Structure 1
Amino acid sequence: MASIMEKIVASSPQFLHLFIGLFFFYVLLKTVQLYWRKQVFLRSFRSFPGPPRHWLYGNNKEISRGRELDKLSEWAEKYPYAFPRWFGGFLPVLVVNHPDYAKAVFGRGDPKAMVTYRFLAPWIGEGLLLLNGPKWFQHRRLLTPGFHYDILKPYVALIAESTKVMLCKWEKLIAKDTMKSLEMFEHISLMTLDSIMKCAFSYQSSSQTDSELDCYIKAVYDLTYLVSRRVRTLLHRNDLIYRCSSPGRHFLEACRLAHQHTEKVIEERKRYFKEEGELEMLQKKRHLDFLDILLCAKDENGAGLSDEDLRAEVDTFMFEGHDTTASGISWTLYAMAQNPEHQQRCREEIMETLGERDVVQWDDLGKIPYTTMCIKESLRLYPPVPSVTRQLSTPITFCDGRTLPEGSLVAINIYNIHRNPAAWQDPEVFDPTRFSLENSSRRHSHAFVPFAAGSRNCIGQQFAMNEMKVALVQILLRFEILPDPAKPPVPVPQLVLKSDNGINLLLKRLN
């Protein structure tokens, strides 16, 4: 044993030299690869002028916290169709600001750009949001029945019930101080999570009253912030470096907390399936929910979803089904507060439709056209998902003749498209009549894309619209919404559109 150790020690200088040599060769190889890759990108994006960039940081240093939307809008004014944005010195993304360009990209069915979306994988797994190819198509086909008219109809009463709990909390809070503003996103996130738990998972939570799911809400809030921050941080793109960093450790802990919650939901339903039997359970239920359909889904060979696929879809829908809708409702309330004349007109329409009732029903949702137009106008100004990214599977030629090769990254900036003056007259003005039948028929097909478009559009968009209608109807029946001039929101594009300082509004109880 001693002789072996002596040989290792004697030869260690040679091993050290070999290791150093290999290390420097690896660094040199990587440098050459990055340089070559950058030259390819420079040639590819040559026909797309854009803002000046730093050779190492790209455009990152020009965008400060809380000003990203302003900066991207400023660049969109100068480059109204598209411009390259460099994340560091070696990764450009073509930012699309015009509906003609959006139509060209959405119409192709290109996969999500995993160079950015992969940062979500440790959290939501390979569910419908991240899947590509045949497996995505299979999951989309299996999950589509979960959003059928017959499935969505019973959800209205459940959403109204969750909204009512939130409104009762609001009444108690403003009773103590009528001039105190409330931060909307926090309250509405709990309400939409409560709704999704009841609707999609038949899980009777009391998250709005006893802080049962505060840990999950906090974890989702942290995860959306950390993923958005990681996209913008060059060193953190490396998985090993990120795991060793403080944000990386925070991310993994937040993932653990989020997974604890979704695993609990799945295990409870599986136990129920086992105790009752699949057929007996389905016969007892008044309506199937999203989780029922996941557990019962079978492909053409009779195979169901694996445990890994099942958790990925639950994690995906748990996040997307509550956080994006919370953003949509919160910003709609802000728009209502800023435009009291439209708020009052919605309230009058709602009261006329419901009569003596104080709870909205399924049939009411199609009888409130002006309220629906106001929601859509809010989604135009404040789209819950401000940008989506695709990776071109084949070369593309845009309407003006400019081209990009296979493999290029394209970000469809929904926020900028919704405010592009080429598609919208006076785009900064809140005008719900843009969405009248007549005006909608004349609009560019891809000027309004809050749920994306094409084959990879949002599968839950009808559920989201229904929830926004139910929540707004219930809120406007009970409260007048007023702005808080001391705390104007600062929109920031994380995974969903949020405000850097919250969305603070004053509420006045109606008699």
Structure 2
Amino acid sequence: MLLVATVILASCFLTAKLWKRLAKYVMDLFTMRNIIGPAQLPLVGNAHQFEYGGAAFYRQIMELGRQYQDHPMFRIWVGIYPIVVLQKAKSVESILSSSKHITKAFQYDFLHTWLGTGLLTSAGEKWHSRRKMLTPAFHFSILQDFCPVFSEQSRVLLQVLDDQLDADGQAELDIFPYMGRCALDIICETAMGCQVHAQTEQNSEYVTSVANMSEIVMRRLKNPLYYSESLFARSRLSAEQNACLGVMHAFTTGVIAERRADFAAMSEEERRDQMAT
């Protein structure tokens, strides 16, 4: 009897959740009716039309932007979930300048295992406290001290581009991955005080894991089946994600341990000077 009652209760719970989600889907359809976008299939949305690779998907979104360039925004559907793409400065400004509407879409939860709940992924009081904590780090005087890093990594970027163009014998190339690796070199050196040589050592385990993790998050975003944590946990992508997380977390944990050891070895005067800067 207990087993039967448990099954009945579980069925009722799942049915209630299903009807709630379907009701939300109908409401979203009504809300999105006046926002232009590509034709979608019921329940599937536009998921069947999405390109597989990240670069191809990016070009696809850019093409939609050109198609709807006379509109401030357009929408796409990932299964039963709508996504609104803002493409006019006025529309973007109203969102980015708001300190009230900061609750992130649930898709940001896909980043929690990687980035935790920091400034990018948090909301409410936690977001405000993290924002207040990080604001001094972006003071002009501090950013000015990073200029030598910006300059050096920019020189590395130019050399890499020159070498690539000479090797290919072409007059043009896709600059996006090169800029991404340059940005990774800059952020690691300025924020963590370590060099990962992402531009010159692309096969390093950490650099590869960052690139693979970004691709995994993008693939999950495009596939509504992976929105379910239980389904995703049983997929091959989940195993790949865990492998990437192991490498990245080991790297950052090592950097933190090294910085703590350096700080502990400082004299009291050196610590005061370090805290002052």
TM range (shorter): 0.7 to 0.9
The offset of 1:133, in angstroms, is 1.8
Write the letter of the residue equivalent to 1:69. I
Per-residue deviation, residues 51-110 of structure 1 (Å, max 9, x unmatched): 322112112223334252245225524x71334422213x22333333443344344331
**In the alignment, is residue 122 of structure 1 matched against residue 109 of structure 2?**
no
Quote the offset at 1:242 in angstroms.
Answer: 0.7
Q: Give the letter aligned to residue 61 of structure 2.
A: L
Question: % of aligned pairs identical?
Answer: 24
Q: In structure 1, give the amino acid aligned to 2:233.
A: R
SS at match of 1:56: coil
Computing the radius of gyration from Cα coordinates, the structure with the larger value is 1
1:72 corresponds to which residue?
Answer: 64
> Which residue among 76, 99, 118 is the counterpart of 1:85?
76
How far apart in 2 are the matches of 1:31 and 1:255? 32
Deviations 1:473-500 (A, max 9, x none): xxxxxxxxxxxxxxxxxxxxxxxxxxxx
Match of 2:48 in 1: 61
Q: Distance in 1 between matches of 2:91 and 2:170?
A: 45
Q: Superposition RMSD on alpha carbons, in Å?
A: 3.3
Of residues 185, 202, 216, the one that matches 2:206 is 216
Using a 3 Å threshold, how does the CA distance of structure 1 residues 61 and 282 change in structure 2: closer, same or farther?
same
Change (3 A) 1:29 1:270: same
Question: Any gaps of 5 or more consecutive residues in structure 1?
Answer: 1-13, 289-511
Structure 2: distance between partners of 1:193 and 1:272: 24
Partner of 1:236: 226
Determine which structure has the larger strand proportion and give its number.
Answer: 1
Separation in 2 of the partners of 1:134 and 1:27? Answer: 32
Q: Shift of the alpha carbon at 1:266?
A: 1.1
Q: 2:187 aligned with 1:196, yes or no? A: yes
Q: Which residue matches 1:376?
A: none
Query: Could you tell me how far apart the structure 2 residues matched to 1:30 and 1:243 are?
Result: 20
Cα offset, 1:221, TM superposition: 0.8
Q: Secondary structure at the match of 2:83?
A: strand
The 5 A counterparts of 1:451-466 are none
**2:148 is matched with which residue: 141, 157, 162?**
157
Question: Secondary structure at the residue paired with 1:95?
Answer: strand
- The one-letter code matched in structure 2 to 1:219 is S
8 Å contact 2:50–2:222 — kept in the other structure?
no
Contact 2:72–2:86 (CA<8 Å) still a contact in 1? yes
Is 1:38 the counterpart of 2:53 in the alignment?
Answer: no
SS at match of 1:93: strand
Query: Which residue is equivalent to 2:134?
Result: 143
Q: Which has the higher helix share?
A: 2
> How many residues matched?
270
CA distance in 1, matches of 2:76, 2:154: 41
* Pair 171,56 (structure 1): closer, same or farther in 2 beyond 3 Å: closer
TM-score normalised to structure 1 length: 0.46
- 2:84 corresponds to which of 52, 70, 94: 94
- Inter-CA distance 41–192: structure 2 relative to 1 (3 Å threshold): closer
Runs of 5+ in structure 2 lacking a partner?
none
- CA-to-aligned-CA distance 1:212-243 (integer Å, 9 cap, x gap): 98211111111111111111111111112111
Kindly indicate whether the alpha-carbon contact (under 8 Å) linking 2:104 and 2:122 is maintained by their aligned counterparts in 1: no
